[in-house]
Amino acid sequence: MTNQHNLRPLDGITVISLEHAIAAPFCTRQLADLGARVVKIERPGSGDFARGYDERVNGLASHFVWANRSKESLTLDLKQDEAGDILVGLLGKADVLVQNLAPGAAARMGLSFEALQERFPRLIVCDISGYGEGGPYEKKKAYDLLIQSEGGFLSVTGGPGEDEMAKAGCSIADIAAGMYAYTGILSALMLRDKTGVGSRIDVSMLESLVEWMGYPMYYGFEGAAPPPRAGASHATIYPYGPFPTKGGDTVMLGLQNEREWALFCEKVLLDSELATDERFSANFKRSANRDELRRIIVQGFSQLTVDEVVARLETAQIASARVNDMQGVWDHPQLKARDSWREIDSPAGRLPALLPPGRNTSFSPRMDSVPGLGEHNTAILAELGFSDDDQARLQAAGVI
């Protein structure tokens, strides 16, 4: 049976978000992808501070464009009583409240789950913070890089030297928290269908990233040595990482088992005897002797172009990849072949945007405009019964 009207899973769901930066906006953008109406509350005049991170997208900030399409922007100065009344009016019609304000800020404004549940028993409240409720770090400020540090990510990422730690090139802790908030809200909506009442979701960036650190943590279980920092190579599986080729290009390859190691020696390095060399006859030996093995591989690749190396790897059915820069990703032939790009509107004109991963054959995701600051003030306030004169007064008073 086809979905003739493109009904989306979250059509009819309204989300109010007191959000800034990445974690909460990334969560709510994905809810919008699935059809939810997301009303983004922003500061009058300045808005979400991520709007000012850079001007790389035709004058718009790259982070903001990525995490905020398909939303409505309403400006409210929540320090003013009338703004609080407007917010309460919105919550009365909402299904979900998401917030990643400073620790304790939402509760001080009367927006804790306990306070809201009395008035809005079906409301789901998702609180996103650096360290979560309770504990000695509850009120500690948290930014992505700081959580990468606290969560151990920096200790296993980068080169082997003491001064060679490296952060992730994207906001990995924010993204992790945003993903758990997103899935937590989906599960809370399902739970509400069973119980008839809302629930609270407490998401911390620290716990979200530590969950993703499971492999290196268990590798270092009970005081054992953690995985060493190995640059772009895998810390404990070898050969698995980048290798130079003729002409200065780089190929990324990965071996997962002894069958692949034998094929790699035979069909890529053209040296079948190397497969049984005692120094390299098991993964843990190859990893321990990686410097010597790397010299052999680099020498073997030194007379081959990257295309020739890739051809040999594919013949041997060894996994490989090219090391793309950002332009290489924009131009990636697989993304083009799968028709992965769409265009969205924005205050700076039409912009490309990636289809959300996890395509569903029954509906198309919502991919609407990136909102201008306060773009939807008039429409949203009109829904709440505010006349043009009322809105003019609110604007003059700095409420909106």
pLDDT digits (tens, 9 = 90+) for 333-366: 999 999 999 999 999 999 999 999 999 999 999 9
2 pLDDT band, cuts 50/70/90, is low
Q: Which two tokens stand for residue 109?
A: 């404004």
Nearest alpha-carbon partner for 173 in 201, 203, 202:
203
Q: Does domain 240-323 have CATH number 3.30.1540.10?
A: yes
Q: Which two tokens stand for residue 219?
A: 């590798």
Residue 160 has pLDDT above 60, yes or no: yes
Rounded to whole angstroms, the Cα distance separating 328 from 307 reads 16
Instruction: State which amino acid sits at residue 135.
Output: G
Q: Where in the chain is the domain with CATH 3.40.50.10540?
A: 14-213+338-396
Sequence-distant (6+) residues with CB within 8 A of 380 are: 39, 72, 74, 90
**Which pLDDT belongs to residue 5?**
77
Rounded to whole angstroms, the Cα distance separating 173 from 179 reads 10
Tally the C-alpha atoms within 13 A of residue 389's C-alpha that lie toward its C-beta.
Answer: 0
Q: Which residues pair with 73 in a beta bridge?
A: 40
CB 283 within 8 A of CB 340: no
Rounded to whole angstroms, the Cα distance separating 304 from 315 reads 15
CB 309 within 8 A of CB 321: no
**Which pLDDT belongs to residue 6?**
86
Say what angle helices 23-33 and 172-195 make with each other, to 10 degrees.
50
Residue pLDDT, tens place only, 58-114: 999 999 999 999 999 999 999 999 999 999 999 999 999 999 999 889 999 999 999
Q: Which two tokens stand for residue 76?
A: 């409210």
Rounded to whole angstroms, the Cα distance separating 256 from 237 reads 7
Nearest alpha-carbon partner for 17 in 124, 81, 138, 100:
100
Percentage above 70 pLDDT, the chain: 99
What CATH fold (topology level) applies to the domain 14-213+338-396?
Rossmann fold (3.40.50)
Nearest alpha-carbon partner for 297 in 307, 286, 284, 288:
286
| Residue carrying structure tokens 């699935």 | 34
Percentage above 90 pLDDT, the chain: 94
162 pLDDT band, cuts 50/70/90, is confident
Rounded to whole angstroms, the Cα distance separating 172 from 301 reads 33
Residue 8 has pLDDT above 90, yes or no: yes
**Which pLDDT belongs to residue 280?**
97
161 pLDDT band, cuts 50/70/90, is confident
Rg of the chain in Å (alpha carbons)? 26
253 pLDDT band, cuts 50/70/90, is very high
Stretch 119-132: mean pLDDT = 97
Residue 1 has pLDDT above 70, yes or no: no
Stretch 213-217: mean pLDDT = 95
Q: Where in the chain is the domain with CATH 3.30.1540.10?
A: 240-323
**Which pLDDT belongs to residue 342?**
97
Q: Which two tokens stand for residue 35?
A: 């059809």
Chain-centroid distance of CA 247 in Å reads 35
Residue 164 has pLDDT above 60, yes or no: yes
What DSSP character marks residue 317? T
Residue 128 has pLDDT above 60, yes or no: yes
Beta strands in 323-400 (DSSP E): 341-344, 351-354
Average predicted confidence (pLDDT) for the chain: 95
